[in-house]
Amino acid sequence: MPEKIKRLALIGIGLIGSSIARGACEYGLAEEIVVQTRRPETLEAAERLGLGDRYTLSAAEAAEGADLVIASVPVGAYGAVAEEIGPVLKPGAIVSDVGSVKAAVIRQVTPFLPEHAHFVPAHPVAGTEYSGPEAGFADLFRSRWCILTPPEGTDAAALASVRAFWEGLGSNVETMTPEHHDMVLAITSHVPHLIAYNIVGTAADLEAVTESEVMKFAAGGFRDFTRIAASDPTMWRDVFLNNKEAVLEMLGRFNEDLSALQRAIRWGDGDALFELFNRTRAIRRGIIAAGQETAEPDFGRAAAAKTV
């Protein structure tokens, strides 16, 4: 059991922030939880759900006196949050985030934090297509990875505290450089989301032509794409704008592989197709073996039921 945090401030209380709040409460990770969000109706929902001990619309008010501040906001908003909370952070305060882009967030946040505070960037690789405080649940991070990307010179005790916190929520914790994280996530998360948005957009354009048959006869593969493409648009807009170099690099590689696949189909190269499909099937089995997915098909329905 990690040492209990005296005061935990959560800046942003959507799916991730509310799941942190629920987990911290259920597993006894914090003595006091302060919840902040910009919208009064969202704050009212958080209070109705009992996600914290105190509630405020001011990020500075939430962060004042906090031992650990975790911001769960769109990637493009971290600089503004850091600028607001920087002047009120107490000596030894730890600031962290949950953004799926790290190098850009570090560039945004670092200039606004005082020398007496510590910044430990984090990325819990977990989520659903749902958003808002109602969508969170305590076990969202259990057996999922949380990646820490400490900048050079990060305080060792602060890093250990953030690691212990995420382990307390049930996460497996890995540490890597911000740049390496951004390249890995570009291919494992960012580009797949971009492809999903594009395929579903193409299907929407075809809908009128096919007289609703696209939606009516949607198979499992298309349903999976629509689940991914239902993710928060503000969050993903900021992800692509703030990780453009890595995403464009991965898109270039993807386009090269897609061209090779196109040639195989055009020339009837069944061996090449079989070899690719067999290799990708093995990757799916590897993900299941690593405990990051189950083999049972649910077409998203099990996850949806859990978050309602």
**Quick one: 91 and 155 in the same domain?**
yes
Is residue 165 within 8 A of residue 118, CB to CB? The reply is no
The CATH number of the domain where 166 resides is what? 3.40.50.720
Q: Which of 155, 176, 197 is the last residue of a domain?
A: 176
For residues 186 and 247, is the Cβ–Cβ distance under 8 A? Answer: yes
Give yes or no for a contact between 194 and 95, defined as CB atoms under 8 angstroms apart.
no
Residues 79 and 168 in one domain: yes
Do 77 and 209 lie in a common domain? Answer: no
Shared domain for 200 and 107, answered yes or no, is: no
pLDDT value, residue 219: 64
Residue 246 near residue 102, CB atoms below 8 Å: no
Q: What is the mean pLDDT of each run of 10 residues along the chain (308 residues)?
A: 89 96 97 97 96 97 98 95 98 97 96 97 89 93 96 96 97 96 91 88 71 66 80 87 91 92 93 89 73 58 42
For residue range 106-143, list pLDDT tens digits in order. Answer: 999 999 999 999 999 999 999 887 889 999 999 999 99
Q: What is the CATH number of the domain that holds 230?
A: 1.10.3660.10
Q: Which of 176, 201, 225 is the last residue of a domain?
A: 176
DSSP run (H or E) holding 115: none
By residue range, what is the domain housing residue 265? 180-307
Pick from 137, 160, 176: which residue ends a domain? 176
Same domain, 141 and 244: no
Question: Over the chain, what is the mean pLDDT?
Answer: 89
Task: Examine the domain organization and report whether 147 and 170 are in the same domain.
Answer: yes
Q: How many distinct structural domains can be found in the chain?
A: 2
